[in-house]
Amino acid sequence: MLDTQALFCLCYQPQALGEPGPGIPQLVIVTKIDDACAEVANDLTKVYQSRYIYEKVTQLAQVLGVPPSAISLVKNYAVDFELNLNMDVLILTALQQMLRAVDACLDEMKQRGLIQEGSS
């Protein structure tokens, strides 16, 4: 299982909520990645090259039953006083992933006739 050394803060746990309805996307936002890995804390651009983060994302995907591509990694603005482009890129990438999932879900609902064309 996952270690508990300030690794990951899960914002969404599908098992706790039961099985989602058909077509409802499952996304996981992992925060505090800088606390999980010293390499990433030193250089946020290495988040997708970190072997440790990769292993933890793979492990988390198996535990939650979601594909690794449904897991977004972000660093929180906690004690930072200035904006950081690398942090913003991760946050905006997570937002983009959420919007794409919603768009795909709405398209699927339209195809099934569950919502009208002008509803979204």
Token reading at 50? 């970190």
Q: Is the pLDDT of residue 14 over 50?
A: no
SS3 116: coil
The reported pTM is: 0.73
The pLDDT score that the predictor gives to residue 20 is: 57
Q: Tens digits of per-residue pLDDT, 68-118?
A: 999 999 998 887 788 899 999 999 999 999 999 888 888 888 888 888 776
Q: Is the pLDDT of residue 54 over 90?
A: yes
SS3 66: coil
Nearest to 88 by CA among 101, 98, 79, 77: 77
State the chain's mean pLDDT as an integer: 81
Strands (DSSP E) contained in the chain are 9-10, 28-31, 71-73
78 burial level (CB within 10 Å; 0-12, 13-18, 19+) = exposed
